[in-house]
Structures are given as structure tokens and as C-alpha cells.
Structure 1
Amino acid sequence: MKGFKASLALFTAASAFISSASLVQGEERELTVDRKDDALQIKKIASYDSGSDEGGTEILAYDIHTKKAFVTNSAKKSIDIVDFSTLNKNEDLSLKPSASISLKQLGIENADGITSVATHPKANFIAAAVPSSPKQENGYVVLLDKEGKLLTKIEVGALPDNVVFTPDGETLLTANEGEPSSDYKQNPEGSVSIINVKEINNLKKEEIGKADIKAINVSFQDVPIRGEVRKNSKGTLMKQLEPEYITVDEESEYAYVSLQENNAIAKLNLKTQKFDEIVGLGVKDHSLKENALDGMNNGKINIEPLPVLGMYQPDALDYFQKGNKGYIVTPNEGDARDYEAYGEEKTIKELLNSGGKIELNAKHYKGFTQEEINQMVQNGLFNEKKLGDLKVSIEEGKNKDGVYESLYSFGGRSFSIWDAETLEKVYDSGSQFEDITARVYPETFNSSNDKVKLDNRSDDKGPEPEAAEVGKIGGQTYAFIGLERMGGVMVYNISNPTEAHYTTYFSSRDMSEDVKEDSAPEGITFIDQKDSPTKTPLLIVSNEVSGTVALYEIEGKAKEFKDVPKTHWAYTYIQELVEKGIVDGKEDGTFSPQEDITRAQFAKIVKRALNVPSVSHSAPFKDVPEWVNDDVNALYEAGIIQGKTKEVFAPEQSITRQQMALVIMRAYEWKKGKLSHVKQAPFKDRETISEEAQEKIDALYTLGVMSGKNSGNFSPYELSSRAQAAKVLSKLLSSLE
């Protein structure tokens, strides 16, 4: 435990939940809030009730220019326009639509509904995705002005399920899912449509309808596949691939497309208008303690490691950037192919009763030995009172003899963060969603969105995270994840993507009835402070089953330490690192700037600051505690740190100024290469600096990262304080910009 306590000197451990569940009640609104800390203050300030119940509100797009929200209403096959300009954070409002535009009013026939809507970031129009009826025929994107008047209709692929503009406003994209008919007689290929709207931006309204606007449908033919992409289902691979959702990088160069049923993400190059690759997301090993789940519907809370592999299968996804590096957030919902003519989903009991044979092999599970698995099976693991009712895929986990060596469930019951360049997972929330909701709702844990009953969804997909949005508040970056079944929103601080941590869970779902207020978050929209009608950040959640939209005001405060006043010489440096998610102080709210910093603590923040990629193999040191093992391995592989000896890292030793200088300059060279011109530093005690360190210290002096002591000395063997380390790291980051 010593190493764990040491790690808390610079950050709060992500697994340490400090719960303070409470009911926040206003004149009309009630909000259940569970907090790890008080970084965010959340209040429900308004709501919109479509009056249509289920399907009345699914996807919402907000226009920053007109302060209008456009809400899809599948029950009425319409878009409801709601004016947010009247919002006042000091009032509690029930909003009404200013207009409702139906497909019938627009003269669009043979349409299945409206699945998605997006507002142009600059121009005066919106786009809506309209699948045809039947859905296997090509669908459309309709462009409307922001008053709801039809401008034009553009044919796209089959079943457009998501529509998005690129950040530069030049391109419109649709994810065309291409689902089969229930009898599987029709099964169109999935695709992504690319529509050039750059020229439309300059046209007058009356000219848009006359313009020859066509979509380019990009297929998956001959696209390279990396990793395990699910392709064991009915039909050809091209017909199995089903695009679900799209997010685009900040430079409008790449689009990332979720292929939910295939448990994969496709990377689309917007310059070449071709897919670069399709990448399988792998599976989540629920036999590990950190990935435990409740897999049995027995009226109790049983969150435990089980021999099950969860397919992540994200629906939504959202791109964000930290420094020059991009990441993708995914809510790992899960989805099975389920049609009249074919279905892949069966309970374990149904699988066995239909002649399936299960012989679990421990080589697929890191958390159990073969003997332990055999004993679990002998003790009735597959009985109805245990895992018998868990829904699994009949397509996955079979060996060459058709025997199931592993069981694949749908969804990860979590959210993940992926490196946008490599599409490798850098973070997953593990079992935390179920851990938290079990604590907050012990009597209604894992209820469904249309039935309030304890343990109702444990044998299915649990809380079923559906929606995701990233936003910045108080200098910190947060991921907001909507839980479709339990309701409510999980909030994680992702300022440091590889070490995201839980902040808050809040819900305004009324659990007094099966379906009442704010049930089943389907879409989430974050409104930045500068674009908000209330001048504070807003989170808008559209709830599908209740047909309501909830508007939450979220106020954050930049974290400050009681022992680092604004007059402290290192205040600016420390606050910069806090805002970037590099340091987080101690649990008691202090930073202890005068304390020495250890070699392990310094390794932790250097890896965070430079986003040094993790590695799968270990450094040769035998004394590195688990909490910093990944950091030391990564920095050692990058050539940034060395040990005291070949096998000793000495993590608890305080770091000297000379050691810190060596690490910092190696970090600079790892990122930028060696300096071409270096001037000699004029330190009086230069002869006391080691020969190896002199060159590095001269380079740091040239960069202005380390300038020595007021005495004119460098003092190489003096121990470095936490404040000094913050200053040097802050200056390093400035030199890299």
C-alpha cells in the first residue's frame, strides 16, 4: 500500500469513490446526484415534453447562432423546433415548441421517419436523415432552413441513421446502416455518404433547390481489416458491415464510423474519400476483478468476475483532442442481430437446450484457472439462478468442432477512450457503472427504461451506455455518458485520457413509476459556456422512452489548493498543470509545494504531460509498485528514464535537480530531437555537475527551462520540491509548443 499512498501525492486514484449521493430538489425538479468531489455543480433548469411519450425525443441538435434546438420526434415523424433563447438559469422552465415540421408538411412520402439531425456550424441550414419505407431502399438527407422550410432533398444509401457536418462546414456525412429486412430477403450494403456543401453555403435559399447536389456513397469494398472484426453472421461481409454513428476530427480530415454489430470502428479519409481501414475493438474480459459484472437476473445485486467476454459494440462516439493527439470516446452499449428470419442472441440456457455444447477454456480468461472454471460449472454456473439467462452470441466463441470455449455477451457496460491514430484502447471504466448505480439505487439497480424493477437488466446489457459527448468546463475536459436503461448521466474527468476518473453521476429520472420523467437517454448535447444562452455550460439530454428533453446547467470551478495561494511563486505553473490534468494534488485539498518529489511521482506526471504511449512489456526494474508501473515502463522504453542500477529504480527516493534535468531533456529530445545550437550555462558550480548531465543542462538553459538558483549555482544534488517540478514541467511544455 505504500506505493499507492505515494501516488496520491500528485493525483487522486481513479478507483477511490467518495460518494455523496443526494437529492437536489427545486420548486418542481428533483435531481439525484452522486459525487466523488465538488468539481461540478449540476442543476436541472428546464425541460421539454414532446407529449408523444416513447419516441417523442431522440436526437437533438443545437444551433449556436439562433439559440434554437431541433429535436427529432419519431412518433410524429417530425422535427420539433424549441427556442432556448428564453432560458434563464435562475428560473425553472417548461419549454414549448415554436414549430413542428413533419415529413408530411414537407411533402416527403414513403419515409420511415427521421433518425438524426445536425445544424450547420456556420450557414443558415440544418440537415436531417430520412430513411425510406421500406428501409432497405436508399434514403435521403433533407436540408431545411432554420425556420423549417425545405431547401432540397439528396439521395443517400439505405437507412441513413446518423448525419453530421464536418467542423469546417464544408462536408455533410451520413452513416447508412443498411439493415436487412426481417425475412432477410433484402439486405443492402452499409455505406457512408459524403456530400459537398461548401458551394451551398454561398447560395441563396431559392438557389439551393435548383442546385445539382449529389452524394458520393463510399462502400467498404476491399477495405483493409485489422484485428477481429465480427463477420460470422448471415450474408456477405459487405452486407454485414453496418455504419451506426460518425464523429470527425477537429481538422475535418478524418471521420470515424462505429460499426456496432461488427464491434469495430472504420477510419474514413475525407481527402481521398476512401476508408483507410476497419479496426476490430476486441473484447472485455469479465473474469478480471476490475471488469466484474452482474450477469444474473435473480433479484439481487451480484457484481462479480465471471467467465464472459464482452464485445464493446459502441453506438455513439465522440472525438476530442488533448494537445496534438486525438482520442475517441465510446459508450459501449452492445447490439445483437435480431430478425424474424435470423437471430444471433440466445440465453445460455437456450443455447444448451438447443444442442449447443459449452466447454469453457481458461486460455480465453485471465481471471480464472481451468480448475476454477470447471468447479464453477460443476457448481451450477449455467443454471437459471446463475448465468443461465445471460444473453450471449451464438456466432462467437466456437472452436473448430463447434464447441463453445468462450461466451460472448453484448456490450461492455462501460465507456472507453481510444487513441484516434491507432484505435488502441487507452482507458475503460471497467465495472464502475454498475458499482456506482448499485450504490445509488440499491432497490432499483439495473432497472429497464420502461420497468422499474431490481435486477431487471442484469442478464442482458446492464445499464446499457448509449450516448456520449465531450465538453470542457473550468479548464477540465469531461466525458458525459448517458445510460439508456437505468437513466441518468455518468461524468468522467478525461483531461488525462489514459487516467480518466469518475466525477459525478446524476439523474432526473422519476423512479416512482415505470415510465415517468426523463427515462432512456438517447442523445446528449453539450453547449459550451461561450455559446450558451445562460452563459454557463449546459448539457441537454433527450430521453426516448419518456419523450422528454432535460436541460442541465453545469458549473465547474478550477481546482485550487489551500496551501498554494495566488501569491505563491509557483501558482501559475501548478494551475496550468491542474487544468491540463497532469497533477491533482492530495486528497486533503493541499498540494504541499515544499515537499520533495519522488522519482516515481515525477515519472507519473512526465508520462501524463507528454502522452508517452504505454507498452506491453516491462522495464527490468524489480522494485516498481503497480500504481506507477505503466508509466515507468513507457518512459524506459522511450529512453526518457533510467534506473539507479540495472534492476533498481528506487521509486520512493526523492529526485535531485540533476536527475530531473536529465529526464526533462531526454523527454524534450524524444519529442523534438536534439537542439542544433546549445550555449554553455554559466553556473558557478559547473564542475560538480556530472559530465553526462552538463550537455543536457546546457540545452535546458538554452531553452529557458532551467536557469539555476539565485546564487548563480545549479546545485545538481539538491532535492527537487513539488513546486519546482511543476515549474520545470510547465516550462518544458511551453518549449514544445
Structure 2
Amino acid sequence: MYSKGGSDSVCGRLFCLVIFVVLNGIVPYVATAELTLRPIGTFHTGLYDKSAAEIPTYCQKTKQVFVVNAESGRVDVLGLGANGSLTKVGSIDAADDLGNGMSAVNSVSVFDGTLAVAVEADVITENGWVAFYDTGSLQLKGTVEAGALPDMVTFTPDGQWVLVANEGEPNEEYSIDPEGTVTVVDVRNGFDQLKTRTVTFRDWNADGKHAQELPELKKRGLRVFGQVSQSGDLKKKTPATFAQDVEPEWIAVDHESHYAYVCLQEVNAVAEIDIADATVRRIIPLGYKNFGEAGSGIDASDEDNRVDIRPRSGLFGILQPDTVRIYQRNGRRLLVTANEGDSRVRPTSDDAVSGFEEGAVFEDEASLDDWPTSGTLFEKQTSDTELGRLKLVRDLVDDHLDEKGRPTQLFAFGSRSFSILDLTTGDLVFDSGDDFEQITAKRYPEFFNVSNDSLKKEKRSRSKGPEPEGLVLGTVGQKTYAFVGLERIGGIMVYDITQPESSKHVGYFNNRQFDVPATLGDGTANPDAGDSGIEGLIFVPAEKSPTSTNLVVVGNETSGTTTVWEVLTSQ
């Protein structure tokens, strides 16, 4: 089912057929010279663990990279030099330009000299806005209202439409849960004559015309699980509607600009949207990954003090991708997903709501000791060194109990992998299996499953592991590659996906310096520590790049850095 190969080593500019690289006293994977990444420029904000560098986008006209700086609430404008260097040349305060109670910038996208900026409201359950700027003058060109918590914005490939994923997250009390929506902005008549329509998911509510589809969709991996509290009594809850439960996270658009594929991360599905009609055509459940299969193992414990990646019978992962991308191969439309996983907890911290601890109002995270296991497959796996500390999906386990209330299957958040799906059939074409954990364990055995802000070995084993989050595709020569960012341990996994069913790993590139303190004495980010906390990635093809080479540009929210990686090949 899984195809594997390639290396986790960084090759230099001189190419050879096969290289063996010794790291930490062991020989990791065999490295081929097919493709390598080399960091050639970094912009340092100096801000550590402040989300100061998140989502980048690139303008060919101005040779500038625009990066979301959530800490400042602005967009940093970085000049990209002919040698790959990054220099700050300006910033955009979209919230100030918009006024109207606007707050943080969440996302950016560029098309033909126009920058779109998605901005959330001070009160996240209220509608946000999108502001449009000229990338040369940085002057405001137009604004348009979006939905609650606009989390991602993108132009269509033809530049005629702008799409906004309005996540619609609930408030801390979970007493207000806005509907997740998609705003379709028609920009064909210019940015002073913008027209909008809103795509909703109400047709899948209990009284909607597609409600009868829900049972079958749930069998294939869709979740509907939210519980909205009453403001006067937070312990008293009513089920969320489907439209409330969906939280659009990311949007990928086909090459013809006809259809958009909207990632609904929390409910584990993708929605296909007809852009011109502004309607949802279908919901595509993403299913589960079987951690019990050979080649799809998991390290499930942060307490065993060892790397223990192995199949776990009866354990499944709910994909819940963050970033999704589209490409076509032999007439097939394919969806590539970075399967991060995501839980919903309210309040999100102990001090967010007076009198309520974190998760006291709502929490879909659970552990194995929440259910009886005597006489089950999991009876001997309840210890902290087995499955006892693994974060489980409460509602899905509850849906798979026997007559005595004992679990027959377990479900964890995320799949610790990336996948390729056929969008016509919804079938899985490829999954990277346990590659990410196996490769990082060999490359960094002493730092296996560390977090982005911690060097504690195995800290992330109980929760999503390396946590693939960012993803971008790029064409190099005649081949298509997937560049997958690992949020926790860091680094970029590269796969050749030219032949989808036989996709292969070709490299793992990580410039995080584990032996260097992440911060300086004053608490600022240490520029010698490298990158950590990968968030967003973009691919800049050679014909649009000031370096005349293919580039991958990465925003790193923990280190507060934006880094330019040059793509080198033997072709």
C-alpha cells in the first residue's frame, strides 16, 4: 500500500550517484542526488514563539515576499534579492486601514500586483474583512466583508475570484459558534466594484436537503461532534448544527479556476465548491489511517524513553489535514493533504473563562482510561508506556463501543503522514505511512519527536508526532514534488509525486540547530538556532524567481524567521 524510498540527507552542490552520510554515529537513509534543498537567505524578526512569521506569499512584479506577522498584527514586506537574501522594506497595517474593530492578519495571497489580506475581528465570532493592496505602492485598493474568522485567502489561478475560508471558531465559553463559510469575491470588474457571495453548509443541517447523506458520510470518516453551551449555563449544551461544526481551514483551486476544494479540518472532510455558482457540490470524507498495518506504525508514548515505532492493532488516525493542494496527472485530479490533526478544547486555557479550567466546557480529547478495557484488544496496552497517554478522539471512540461500553477501535488525532487522494472517486492513492517518524528517528535519535519549543525527547509522541502542517507542490524539470513542513521537530520532507501511486521520498532537510539555545539572554530569538515551527510554504518557480532558480520560501512561527531554500537537482 505504501511506497517508500529516498533519503533524509542534505546533498551539496556537487552531485554524485549515491552518498552515505553518517549523522550522530549512525548511517541514516541512502541519499541520492535527485534533489536537495539549500537555505540561502533568512529574515529574522527576533521574536521567539510569538507567531511573527506565518504565511508567506510572493509577488513576481516587485520581487517581494509578503509574510503574516501575527505578533505585530501586520504584514511584513521583504525584498527578495538575486542571491536569495531577504530584507525588510516595509509593512502593512491592514487592521488599522480597515478600522471597524479589526484585529490580527491571518493570511495573504498575491495575483498580478495585487495583495489580498485576510483580517479577523477583535471579537473572533464577528465577521472579518479582506483588504486589497497594490504590491508596488502598498496603497489600499479596496475592502470587502468576509465571514467569522477569515483564516485563509487565495486568488484563483485565473485571477478572477478571491476565496476566503471563514473558520467560524466558537468563543471560549462555546456559547457562540458561528457557521463556517466561504466568501467568494468577484474581482473581475476591479477592486472598487467588488461583489461577494457566501457559501454555507446549511444544506447538511438536520433540516437541510442533503441531511440524508450524513449517515453514509459519517461511515466514511466525517465527524459531527460539537456541543454549543448556553450563555447562562455553560454546562447545559445543545448539539451544534453541521454548518456550525465545519471550520474551513484551507482552500485549493483547480487549474481551470472552476472548482475549489475547501479543507474542513475538524470534521475530517473536504468540500467541493462550484466557484461561479458559489455552491457546495459535495462533501468528501477523508477516512481514517490504519495504524495497525505494516509500514504505518506509530510511537504512541512519551514515557517509555525510547523510539518505539510499531503497528498498533485497532488504532486508527483521523487525517484532519491542515493544508491541501491540487495537481493533475494523466487526466486525474488529485488532492495532496498534510495530515496534521486538530482537537477542539474550550476554554483553551485555565485563565480564559473565569471559574473554568482548560477543557471544562468542551473537550474532544480523551485517554484510554476513560473507558473499561478488560477483555478487549487494548487490555494490556493501558500503561503510560503503551497507549495510556495517547490523546484519543472521544466522540469517535464512543461511536465504536461494544454492548459493555468497551472500545472496539481507538482513534487518534492526525495520521503523522501526507496523503494523495483521487478527487473523482475519493479513494486513497498514496500515504507516506510511518516515514516521517522513521526518518526523523534515524536522523535525530536524541531529539526524536521533540516539539517546536522544547527539546524534550518524545514530547510529541502522545500527540500527533512530527505534525505535518504546511505543504506546497512544485514542478522541477519533468517531475512534480511535494514539500511537506513538519511543525514540531522541524524540517521539510520532499517526495516525488510524479507517479502518484509510486510516490517516493527523496529528501529531508532541516536547518534547526538542536545544540544551540533557541533564545538569547534577553528572551529574543537566537539567530544561530535555525528555524522551528514551520507554518506556511510557497514554491517560486525559476522563471519567476530573482535567483533564476526554483525556491521554497518558508514561514516559521516559533523562531520568527522566514527562510528561502534553493532547490538543486542533478537534472
What range is the shorter-chain TM-score in?
A: 0.7 to 0.9
Which residue type is aligned with residue 337 of structure 2? T
1:81 aligns with 2:62: no
Distance in structure 2 (CA, Å) of the matches to 1:466 and 1:508: 17
Q: CA deviation at 1:533?
A: 0.8
What is the alpha-carbon distance in structure 1 between the residues aligned to residue 495 and residue 153 of structure 2?
A: 26
1:221 is aligned, of 196, 202, 212, to: 202
- 1:52 maps to 2:47: yes
Unmatched 5+ stretches in structure 1 = 1-12, 26-31, 201-207, 362-372, 559-737
Per-residue CA deviation, residues 358-405 of structure 1 (Å, 9 max, x unaligned), is: 4686xxxxxxxxxxx36xx23xx1112221111011111223754322
Whether 1:545 and 2:558 are equivalent positions in the alignment is yes
**Equivalents in 2 of 1:18, 1:240: separation in Å?**
40
Say if 2:192 is the partner of 1:172. Answer: no
Preserved contact between residue 474 and residue 557 of structure 1 (Cα < 8 Å)? no
Alpha-carbon deviation of 1:532?
A: 1.0
In the alignment, does 2:342 pair up with 1:325? no
Contact kept, 8 Å, 1:14 with 1:501, in 2: the verdict is yes
What is residue 432 of structure 1 aligned with on the other side? Answer: 435
Higher RCO (CA-CA < 8 Å; seq separation 6+): 2
Query: For structure 1, which segment, 340-349 or 223-232, has the greater mean C-alpha deviation from structure 2 after superposition?
Result: 223-232
CA distance 1:524–1:34, shift in 2 (3 Å): farther
- Alignment correspondent of 2:230: none
Q: Shift of residue 421 of structure 1?
A: 2.0
1:259 aligns with 2:264: yes
Q: How does 1:439-588 map to 2 (within 5 A)?
A: 439-513=442-516, 515=518, 516-558=529-571
Amino acid corresponding to residue 405 of structure 1 in structure 2: T
Q: 2:342 aligns with which of 335, 345, 369?
A: 335
1:132 paired to 2:130: no
Q: Offset at 1:73?
A: 0.4
The answer for the alignment partner of 2:389 in structure 1 is 389
The answer to whether the Cα contact below 8 Å between 1:233 and 1:395 also exists between their aligned partners in 2 is no
Contact preservation (8 Å) 1:193, 1:218? yes
2:310 is aligned with 1:304: yes
Aligned to 2:289: 284
Shift of residue 35, structure 1, vs aligned partner: 6.0
Distance (whole Å) between structure 2 residues aligned to residue 360 and residue 270 of structure 1: 52
- Among candidates 43, 48, 63, match of residue 67 of structure 1: 63
1:183 is aligned to 2:164? no
Q: Which amino acid aligns with 2:372?
A: K
Q: Distance in 2 between matches of 1:529 and 1:23?
A: 19
Matched residue type, 1:193: T
Considering fraction of residues, name the structure with more helix.
Answer: 1
TM-fit CA distance, 1:16: 4.2
Report whether the alignment pairs 1:154 with 2:161.
no
Secondary structure of the corresponding residue to residue 202 of structure 2: coil
Describe the superposition over 1:573-622 as per-residue Cα deviations: whole angstroms up to 9, x where unpaired. xxxxxxxxxxxxxxxxxxxxxxxxxxxxxxxxxxxxxxxxxxxxxxxxxx
SS at match of 2:483: strand
SS state of the match for residue 440, structure 2? helix
Partner of 2:233: none
Deviation at 1:424, TM superposition (A): 1.8
Q: Contact 1:62–1:69 (CA<8 Å) still a contact in 2?
A: yes
Establish whether residue 102 from structure 1 lines up as the match of residue 108 from structure 2: no
Deviations 1:459-481 (A, max 9, x none): 11100000111101122110000
TM-score (norm 2): 0.84
* Correspondence for 1:357: 372
- SS of 1:397's partner is helix
Q: CA deviation at 1:67?
A: 1.2
| Alpha-carbon offset, residue 323 of structure 1 | 3.4
CA apart distance, 1:521: 0.7
CA 1:410/1:162 → structure 2, altered by over 3 Å: closer, same or farther?
same
**How many residue pairs align between the two structures?**
504
Q: Structure 2 counterpart of 1:74, which letter?
A: A
Letter in 2 for 1:557: S
Contact 1:21-1:35 within 8 A present in 2 as well: no
Q: For the structure 1 residues 467 and 19, does the alpha-carbon distance in structure 2 shift closer, same or farther, using more than 3 Å as the test?
A: closer
Which of residues 194, 199, 210 is equivalent to 2:184? 194
Letter in 1 for 2:492: V
Please report the TM-score for the alignment, with normalisation by the length of structure 1. Answer: 0.66
* Compared CA separation, residues 474 and 360, structure 1 to 2 (3 A): farther
Distance 1:256 1:104, change over 3 A: closer
**Between Structure 1 and Structure 2, whose CA radius of gyration is higher?**
1
Pairwise CA distance, 1:101: 1.6
Partner residue, 1:293: 298
Task: Return the offset for 1:167.
Answer: 0.4
Shift of 1:60: 0.4
Taking structure 1 as reference, are residues 180 and 158 closer, same or farther at Cα in structure 2, changes over 3 Å only? same
Answer yes or no: is 1:314 the counterpart of 2:329: no
Q: SS at 1:396's partner residue?
A: helix
1:579: which partner in 2? none
Per the alignment, residue 410 of structure 1 pairs with: 413
Quickly say closer, same or farther: Cα 1:302–1:21, change in 2 above 3 A.
farther
Question: 8 Å contact 1:67–1:533 — kept in the other structure?
Answer: yes
Q: Name the CA shift for 1:478/1:501 in 2 (closer, same or farther; >3 Å).
A: same
When residues 270 and 104 of structure 1 are mapped into structure 2, their CA distance, relative to the original with a 3 A threshold, is closer
| Contact kept? 2:37, 2:565, Cα under 8 Å | yes
Q: Distance in 2 between matches of 1:302 and 1:458?
A: 10
User: Over aligned residues, Cα RMSD in angstroms?
Assistant: 2.1
CA deviation string 1:147-179 (max 9, x = no partner): 322222211111110001110100000001110
Residues 144, 463 of structure 1: CA spacing in aligned structure 2 closer, same or farther, 3 A cutoff?
same
- Using the TM superposition, give the Cα deviation of residue 105 of structure 1 relative to its aligned residue in structure 2, in angstroms: 4.5
2:164 aligned counterpart, secondary structure: strand
Kindly state the Cα deviation for residue 109 of structure 1 after the two structures are TM-superposed. Answer: 4.7
How much does 1:144 deviate? 1.2
Return the letter of the residue paired with 2:53.
T
| Range with greater deviation from structure 2 (320-329 or 303-312) | 320-329
Partner of 2:241: 236
Aligned partners of 1:59 and 1:35: how far apart in 2? Answer: 33
Output the CA distance in 2 between the equivalents of 1:359 and 1:312: 28
Q: Which of the residues 394, 399, 419 maps onto 2:422?
A: 419
**SS of the counterpart of 1:422?**
coil
Inter-CA distance 439–472: structure 2 relative to 1 (3 Å threshold): same
Distance 2:402 2:312 in 1: 24
Answer yes or no: is 1:37 the counterpart of 2:32.
Answer: yes
- SS of the equivalent of 1:436 reads helix
Q: Percent identity?
A: 35
**What is the identity, as a one-letter code, of the residue corresponding to 1:275?**
V
- Aligned mates of 1:63, 1:327 — CA distance in 2: 26
2:152–2:251 CA contact under 8 A, matched in 1: yes
Distance 1:501 1:164, change over 3 A: same
Q: Report which of the two has the higher share of strand.
A: 2
Separation in 2, partners of 1:283, 1:327: 18
Is the CA contact 1:328–1:418 (under 8 Å) kept in the aligned structure 2? yes
Alignment-mate amino acid for residue 111 of structure 1: M
**Change in 2 beyond 3 A, CA 1:304/1:175:** same
Summarize deviations over 1:526-556 as a string: whole Å, max 9, x none.
0111111111100111101111011111122
SS at match of 1:117: strand
What is the deviation of 1:22?
7.2
The one-letter code sitting in structure 2 at the alignment partner of 1:134 is V
Alignment of 1:640-655 (within 5 A): none
* Letter matched to residue 425 of structure 1: L
- State whether residues 359 and 404 of structure 1, in contact with CA within 8 Å, keep that contact through their aligned partners in structure 2: no
Give, as a single letter, the amino acid of the residue that structure 1 aligns with 2:341: G
Q: Secondary structure at the match of 1:131?
A: strand
